[in-house]
Structure 1
Amino acid sequence: MQATAYTYDPETRSGSVLLDDGTPLPFDTAAFDAGGLRLLRPGQRVRIEVAAGPGTDPGPGPGTGDGAAERRITLVTLQTF
């Protein structure tokens, strides 16, 4: 899945991305480290991998009942073409 880097804190190596539908989704240090990056700038296109939380429907988009609140980014890396 593709997204755009929105925020990044180099001290904690965590931040957030904006999905293509405009939904913000945070990522933690483990997800950032899994991608092998050293730095991330807001506006960069990234590739992310997302896992659904237990007992949630990872549905395709935002809204009630689609599991958006329970989605968790497991990997952030640069989008390559």
Structure 2
Amino acid sequence: MQATAYTYDSETRSGSVLLDDGTPVDFDAPAFDAGGLRLLRPGQRVRIETTGEGDSRHITLITLQTL
């Protein structure tokens, strides 16, 4: 699934993304670390993997979207 990086805190390695429908979804350090990223800037397109649905949706991996 694709999304857009919305917030990112480099100290905690956590933040949030906006799905294409505008829904915000938070991610934590393990999801960030799983993608092998070092930095994330708001506005970057990302690819995410999630578990759960609705309010229980949780990001398990976040990485940069490449074409």
TM-score range, shorter chain: over 0.9
In structure 1, give the amino acid aligned to 2:44: Q
Q: Which has the higher strand share?
A: 2
Q: Which runs of 5+ in 2 are unaligned?
A: none
Q: SS of 1:36's equivalent? A: coil
* C-alpha distance in 2 between matches for 1:28 and 1:12: 8
Q: Map Cα deviations across residues 23-54 of structure 1 (whole Å, 9 max, x no partner).
A: 000000000000000000000000000001xx
1:43 aligns to 2:43 (yes or no): yes
Answer with 1 or 2: which has the greater Rg: 1
TM-score, L = length of structure 1:
0.82
Q: Give the aligned partner of residue 17 of structure 1.
A: 17
* C-alpha distance in 2 between matches for 1:80 and 1:43: 14
> Alignment length, in residue pairs?
67
* Root-mean-square deviation over aligned CA pairs: 0.4
TM-score, L = length of structure 2:
0.98
1:69 aligns to 2:55 (yes or no): yes
Amino-acid identity (%): 78
* C-alpha distance in 2 between matches for 1:21 and 1:10: 26
